[in-house]
Structure 1
C-alpha cells in the first residue's frame, strides 16, 4: 500500500502538511488548521508542489532564506488506500491507517479554485467529535 505522512511545520505560520504517495511522488497539501478526526470539521487543504518520496522521512530544520524555513516534525505516518474517486476527479476518498489518522477521509476540490481543497473525516468508527488538535513539538 502507498504511504502518507503528516508534517507539523513550524514555519512563518505554524501549519501541517499532508503528503500522499502517488505516481512516484508525494502529492502535498498545506493544512493551515491541521487535520481533524471530527467529521464536522472541514479543513482547508491548499495543494502545493509535489515532493520527492524521500521527503516522507524528513524531520529537521529548513534553513532561513529557504522556502518554508523552520522546524519540521513527523506528526503522523502510515499507509492509505483509495476507497473511491481520484485527484483528477476532484473528489478522492481514502482510508488511512496511521497512528493518529485512522479510517476514511475525503479530499474535495473547491470549484473554481485550482489549489483549494477540503480535507474531511468521514463518519466511521474512528470518528471523534471531541478531537482536539495537538502539537508534537514546539
Structure 2
C-alpha cells in the first residue's frame, strides 16, 4: 500500500515574508506562496500564488538562500505532515490531485504538527485562494502564525535561523 503524500509549509523571508504551502503531487512539490499564512478561520480567504514546482528533497530544507533560484532569504519548516486528497467531481468520484489543480479546485485533509483538518485551494481569475473548511479543526480565535512561530524541525524562529 503506498504511503500518504506529504505536505510542508515553509516560512520564507524573501523580499516579503510569506508561507510556502507545498503538496506532494506526482513526485514533486506543488507550491503556493501564501503571504499572510494559513488561517484557521473558515471565513478568511488567503491569497495563494501558484509558484514553481520544487523537488521532494526540498521539503526538509532549512537555511538561508544566497542565490535567486528559489528567492534569497531564510527558510524554516513551519509545519509538515501528510495529507489525504478529498477532491470529488460532480459524480462524487475522487479526482486525482494533479487533475484537481488543473481544474482549479483541490480539497485536502492535512495531518500536520500544526495544521489539521480540511483545506480548499480554489483558482480565481487571477490567483488562488486558500480557505480552511469548517470542521472540528477550525478555530477563528487562534492565529497559529503568531502562536506557533517556530520550526517543526529545528525549533528555531526564522529570525533566529537568519541570525545564525
The bucket for the TM-score relative to the shorter chain is over 0.9
Q: Higher strand share goes to which structure?
A: 1
Range that drifts further, 79-88 or 44-53: 79-88
Of the three residues 120, 134, 137, the one matched with 1:123 is 134
In our comparison, the structure showing a higher alpha carbon Rg is: 2
Counterpart of 2:52 in structure 1 is 49
TM-score (norm 1): 0.93
Alignment of 1:93-112 (within 5 A): 93-111=107-125
Unaligned runs of 5+ in 2: 89-99, 151-156, 160-164
C-alpha distance 39-88 of structure 1, shift in aligned 2 (>3 A)? same
Please tell me the root mean square deviation across aligned C-alpha atoms, in Å. 1.2
**Alpha-carbon displacement from aligned partner over 1:76-133 (angstroms, at most 9, x marks no partner):** 000001101411221111000001110000000003x2xx100000000000011212
Output the CA distance in 2 between the equivalents of 1:105 and 1:11: 25
Counterpart of 1:2 in structure 2 is 5
**Corresponding position: 1:32 with 2:39:** no
Output the CA distance in 1 between the equivalents of 2:9 and 2:135: 21
TM-score (norm 2): 0.79
Of the three residues 50, 55, 59, the one matched with 2:62 is 59
Output the CA distance in 2 between the equivalents of 1:100 and 1:42: 19
Output the CA distance in 1 between the equivalents of 2:137 and 2:60: 26
